[in-house]
C-alpha cells in the first residue's frame, strides 16, 4: 500500500450491481485510493426491458430494430452505461469479463484464473463482492439471479488461488486483507457498518439513471435511490447511507469509536432531526 492509500477491488455479477455501493467507492476514489471494478458477465441477458416489452406485443407490432439487436450490440450498450456510471465517481479501471449467462462457476473454471490474475495485477487490500449466502440467518439473496451467488463463489475461489504458491509460477502471492459484502443482500440487524453517502446522493441518482437499457428513468432513479439509501440511513440516524457486512471479525487495537459516533452521542434532539434530513446544526 503506497502512501497510505488503499487498493479496492469490487467484483459484481452484472454492470449495474456496483451502484449499490457506488457512493462509498466514489468517496475512496476522491481520497486517492485505487478502485478497480470487475463485472463477471456483460449483463446482456439481464433486465433487457426493451426486448421484454416488444415480446409482449403481437408479432406484427414489434419493433424490428429491437428484435434484431444482437447480443454483442446489447452488451456494448451495457458496457458504455457501466463505464459512464463509474466515471461519475472518478473510477476509470473498469473491466467486463463477459462470461456467459446464466453464469455458473463450475461450467467456467477459467473465470477463477481470470479473476486471480486481476488480483495479482492490482493487489487489492479490500475486496467487495456479492453475498455468498443462501436464504437464512447469515444473509439473504433475492433468488432472481443465481449469477450473484456464483459471482461470490468465484470471487472467494480466486482470492484463495491468489494466495497459493505453485511450482513454475513467477507471480508473487497476494492476500486480500478484508472482504466485504454489500448490505443490500442482508437485513438491518446483520449490517456490520454504514457509510454516510449523503454528499454522493446526486451521483447515485445519476448513475442509476445511466442504465437506460434496464428501463431506468431520471424520475424513477431518484425515487429508487431515495427509498433505498434513505431507508438504510434513516433507521440509523443518517439521511442516506450504504451498508456493508464483514466476512469475518476484524482485529482492532481495542475499542475504536468513529468521531461520528461520539458526536451523535452528544447531540440534541433538534440536531439529530437535522442530521437525518442531511442538514448540519448551527450549534
Q: What is the pLDDT of residues 43-77, one digit of tens each?
A: 999 889 999 999 999 999 999 999 999 999 999 99
Q: What pLDDT band is residue 138 in, cutting at 50, 70 and 90? A: very low
Q: Report whether pLDDT(139) > 70.
A: no
Quote the pLDDT of residue 112. 98
Quote the pLDDT of residue 135. 60
What average pLDDT does this structure show over 31-48?
95
Q: What pLDDT band is residue 281 in, cutting at 50, 70 and 90? A: low
Please tell me which residue, 84 or 283, carries the higher pLDDT value.
84
Q: What is the pLDDT of residues 149-167, one digit of tens each?
A: 999 999 999 999 999 998 8
Q: What is the pLDDT of residues 164-212, one digit of tens each?
A: 998 888 889 999 999 999 999 899 999 999 999 999 999 999 999 999 9
Quote the pLDDT of residue 127. 98
93-96 and 126-128 as β-strands: parallel, antiparallel, unpaired? unpaired
Q: Report whether pLDDT(222) > 70.
A: yes
Domain positions in the chain:
7-251
- Integer angstrom CA distances of residue 187 from 11, 47, 129, 139, 251: 21, 24, 17, 7, 24
Work out the mean pLDDT of the chain and round it to a whole number. Answer: 92
Q: Report whether pLDDT(34) > 80.
A: yes
d(CA 21, CA 47): 19
Q: What pLDDT band is residue 137 in, cutting at 50, 70 and 90? A: very low
**The CATH number of the domain covering residues in 7-251:** 3.40.50.10320
Q: Report whether pLDDT(102) > 60.
A: yes
Q: What pLDDT band is residue 3 in, cutting at 50, 70 and 90? A: low
Quote the pLDDT of residue 105. 96
Q: What's the pTM?
A: 0.91
Q: What pLDDT band is residue 146 in, cutting at 50, 70 and 90? A: confident
Q: What is the DSSP string of the chain?
A: --TT--EEEEEESSGGGGGGGHHHHHHHHHTT-EEEEEESS--TTS--HHHHHHHTS-GGGS-HHHHT--HHHHHHHHHHHHHHHHHTTT--EEEE----SS--GGG-THHHHHHHHHHHHH--SEEE------SBTTB---SS-HHHHHHHHHHHHHHHHHH---TT--SPP---SEEEEEGGGS-GGG--EEEE-GGGHHHHHHHHHH-GGGT--HHHHHHHHHHHHHHHHHTTT-SSEEEEEESSPPP-SS----HHHHHHHH--HHHHHHHHTT-----
Amino acid at each position: 500500500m503506497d502512501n497510505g492509500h488503499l487498493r479496492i477491488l469490487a467484483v459484481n455479477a452484472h454492470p449495474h450491481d456496483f451502484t449499490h455501493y457506488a457512493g462509498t467507492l466514489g468517496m475512496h476514489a476522491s481520497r486517492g485510493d485505487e478502485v478497480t471494478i470487475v463485472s463477471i458477465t456483460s449483463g446482456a441477458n439481464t433486465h433487457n426491458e426493451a426486448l421484454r416489452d416488444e415480446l409482449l406485443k403481437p408479432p406484427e407490432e414489434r419493433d424490428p430494430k429491437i428484435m434484431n439487436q444482437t447480443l454483442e450490440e446489447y452488451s456494448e450498450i451495457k458496457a458504455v452505461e457501466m463505464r459512464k456510471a463509474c466515471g461519475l465517481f472518478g473510477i476509470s479501471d473498469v473491466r467486463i469479463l463477459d462470461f456467459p449467462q446464466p453464469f455458473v462457476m463450475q461450467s467456467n473454471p477459467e473465470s477463477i484464473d481470470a479473476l486471480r490474475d486481476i488480483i495479482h495485477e492490482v493487489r487489492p487490500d479490500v475486496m467487495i463482492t456479492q453475498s455468498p449466502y443462501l436464504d437464512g440467518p447469515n444473509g439473504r439473496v433475492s433468488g432472481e439471479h443465481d449469477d450473484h451467488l456464483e459471482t461470490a463463489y468465484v470471487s472467494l475461489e480466486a482470492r484463495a488461488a491468489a494466495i497459493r504458491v505453485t511450482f513454475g509460477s513467477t507471480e508473487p502471492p497476494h492476500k486480500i486483507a478484508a472482504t466485504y459484502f454489500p448490505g443490500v443482500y442482508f437485513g438491518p440487524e446483520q449490517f456490520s457498518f454504514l457509510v454516510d453517502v449523503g454528499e454522493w446522493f446526486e451521483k447515485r441518482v445519476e448513475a442509476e439513471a445511466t442504465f437506460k437499457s434496464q428501463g431506468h428513468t431520471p424520475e424513477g432513479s431518484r425515487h429508487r435511490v431515495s427509498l433505498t439509501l434513505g431507508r438504510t440511513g434513516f433507521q440509523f440516524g443518517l439521511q442516506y447511507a450504504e451498508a456493508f457486512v464483514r466476512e469475518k471479525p476484524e482485529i482492532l487495537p481495542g475499542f475504536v469509536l468513529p468521531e461520528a459516533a461520539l458526536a451523535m452521542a452528544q447531540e440534541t434532539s433538534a440536531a439529530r432531526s437535522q442530521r437525518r434530513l442531511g442538514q448540519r446544526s448551527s450549534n
